[in-house]
Amino acid sequence: MKKKQVIVLSLVFALTSLLIGGAFASGKISIVVNGRTVPTDVSPRNVDGRVMVPISTISKALGADVTWDSKKQTVIINQKSGTSVSTPDLWNEKLNLTGGEWADIVSLINKYFVTYDSRDEEAWKKTIASSYLNNGSIELPGGGVYPSILELKIVDAKKIVDAKRKGEGRSDGDQYKVRVKIVHYMNLSTPFVAEWDFDVAPYMSKGYLIDYANIISDTQLKNYTVFPGLTFQDVSE
């Protein structure tokens, strides 16, 4: 009986939904959670047109604890305290930042996007270092659809060292790379999800400024739900 229970626990499957994707490659189904391919001990299967995936693997990838209650024959999944299921740990790095330091970085990123999205060049330039435009960074568009950002979220950060991107007046504080996910629209309401990387560093009398910015990816979506009751659809077809 115990052996059977272990097998049952190992082979627990759930139907995939919006947070996970199954993709066929040479007959093998892969699992992608928040943009990251997740290895599994038990392979996903296509059963009568429905993709079945191991719930234990998916739950752990989303930051939850999975336990087996043998008496109740129940799999128990608990989200870890303080963990967001929508935020993967991309760089797996522990940062030694104070609340004030991180708040300054968050404020800077928000100001950058507000001024970028409204095409406010004067205010936008106050968020970037003197070396920013010489580094091949994203430039402020001259036109286009604006404002176009529907939602944005900082998903990870790590400490970096990049002497090539030091603007004038840099202080001795640490430099960080920050990954931001934004959802924006084109063609009236067709949603896109993009990932941007920012290199930020402290500057004397100016606080944190952005040394470099780059778009990592930008993918069109069929639909995007901001919250129940507000969904944007692809209108390009």
Structure tokens given for 150: 């529907």
At residue 77, the pLDDT reads 77
- Cβ 209 vs Cβ 128: under 8 Å: yes
Residue type, 22: G
Please tell me the distance from the alpha carbon of residue 11 to that of residue 4, in angstroms, as a whole number.
Answer: 11
- Among residues 77, 69, 57, 62, which one has the least CA distance to residue 10? 57
**More confident call, 99 vs 80:** 99
- Cβ 48 vs Cβ 114: under 8 Å: no
Residue type, 133: L
| Total residue length of the chain | 237
Please tell me the distance from the alpha carbon of residue 54 to that of residue 39, in angstroms, as a whole number.
Answer: 11
At residue 7, the pLDDT reads 35
pLDDT in tens, 168-192: 678 878 899 999 999 999 888 899 9
**More confident call, 83 vs 53:** 53
Give me the mean pLDDT over the 216-225 stretch: 91
**More confident call, 148 vs 52:** 148
At residue 112, the pLDDT reads 98
Q: How confident is the model at residue 166 (pLDDT cuts 50, 70, 90)?
A: low
Beta-ladder partners of 226: none
At residue 163, the pLDDT reads 56
At residue 20, the pLDDT reads 40
At residue 88, the pLDDT reads 64
pTM for this entry: 0.65
For the chain, what are the domain ranges? Answer: 2-79, 99-233
At residue 85, the pLDDT reads 43
At residue 2, the pLDDT reads 42
CA–CA distance from 36 to each of 61, 160, 187 (Å)? Answer: 9, 22, 29
The whole-chain average pLDDT of the chain stands at 81
Structure tokens given for 64: 């939850």
- Domain range 99-233, CATH architecture: Roll (3.10)
- Among residues 118, 98, 133, 142, which one has the least CA distance to residue 209? 133
Lookup result for tokens 């998916």? 58
Q: Is 47 exposed, middle or buried (0-12, 13-18, 19+ CB in 10 A)?
A: exposed
